Amino acid sequence: MQIYTASNICRAINCLDKNILYSYVNPKNKGEIQIVNVVMPEGPITIRRRKIGEQWGEYETISSQMIWRVANALNSRIPINIDRVLAGSYNTRSVLESLLAHTPEIFVCTPGRQETIGGIVSIKKGHKHILWLPDKTHKLGKIEYIDLGESCVINEIPSMDMMYDVVPAKINKEGMSIEIQRRHSQIQVALSEIARALDMRSWIAVEDHGIIYNQKRIIEYPNIVKQLTEEPTISQFPDAIQVGKHIDCLYFNGGLPFAFEVEHTTGVTSGLSRMLQFKNAAEHLNTHYVIVAPDNDREDVITKCHKEQFKDLNALYFPYSQVEELYSFTSRHEGKIKGIKKDFLLTFMESAS
């Protein structure tokens, strides 16, 4: 199966004539875009833009991480809304959307939108989306719309919503509302399911072994580590085990590539402190330390990760939208994913330190 990657995006945009100014997909935006430079193979891409008749703005970059996030979404081969994919982050998202639309394999469409309010489903007029169609190309440098017909309707419910009914909140954590407990549990389940799809095992914090998933306690699933003391990677490091058993999620694949702390409107500092303790107790491990938090909490996460006391963690930020995107991707391709390496997961995260 053909896969769309950041390299595909960069190659396609690099083929666009840099002496031509490009328009936005949104006809209400009368601005102009100039491609300054494309770093191969995976970016960044440097651009500048202006309103027609006005001075050019400063040079701006479209990061490799942003390019990868869009590439991963386009891999679904269903229409994607760029604002949804990037969760409203990145002020150059409309630029990337527009440049992509000028490349031969990307089409613009406006599928219907399914909206559910009070249990009543209705179909609303669609918003603009872009779609990767490698078998149906158009002229380079032009934007082409495609009519997908009335039968094409986008369900606006996020991919994680499918888990709402199967991950009830059964754990009573003092000071945490049921709604927050449930969301926290959903993200932990998603992380464990991602690990399973990628042939890794995962540990879930001991306090959360009672999470009910598909009518079964999460600790009963075969891909979940039952006792950290039995895990060869850290079995000889009792101090690391004592801290690690309280970390929200750990991945194991012969090593320990990732440690995750899920911070849903809770203190990011406590998660960072716990991971720092773990790192100090097991410095030999080549582990990435990751804060998983809502997209709206990005600035708070970045600010706290930048504190001098956490500098050695080199912490990463994994927004909920990207957990959902990766969960959705691995669910769709389960059984077909072979040889996925740590670097693939890192494309869904960003440096926070």
Contact 279, 330 (CB under 8 A): no
Burial of residue 249 (CB within 10 Å: 0-12, 13-18, 19+) is buried
What are 200's two structure tokens? 């890794």
Task: Determine the pLDDT at residue 47.
Answer: 97
Answering whether pTM is above 0.75, one says no
Task: Determine the pLDDT at residue 341.
Answer: 65
Give every residue of the chain whose pLDDT is below 50, as ranges: 116, 118-119, 156-171
pLDDT tens for each residue of 139-181: 999 999 998 776 565 554 444 444 444 444 444 555 566 667 7
Task: Determine the pLDDT at residue 309.
Answer: 93
What are 54's two structure tokens? 């006005």
Task: Determine the pLDDT at residue 186.
Answer: 84
Percent helix, percent strand, percent coil in the chain, to nearest 5: 35, 20, 45
DSSP string, 42-77: T--EEEEEEETTS-----EEE-HHHHHHHHHHHTT-
Task: Determine the pLDDT at residue 344.
Answer: 81
The whole-angstrom separation of Cα 277 and Cα 77 is 43
Task: Determine the pLDDT at residue 205.
Answer: 95
Task: Determine the pLDDT at residue 165.
Answer: 41
Q: What angle do CA 158, 163, 165 make, to 5 degrees?
A: 120
Task: Determine the pLDDT at residue 157.
Answer: 42
Domain range annotation of the chain: 6-156, 161-351
Contact 303, 310 (CB under 8 A): no
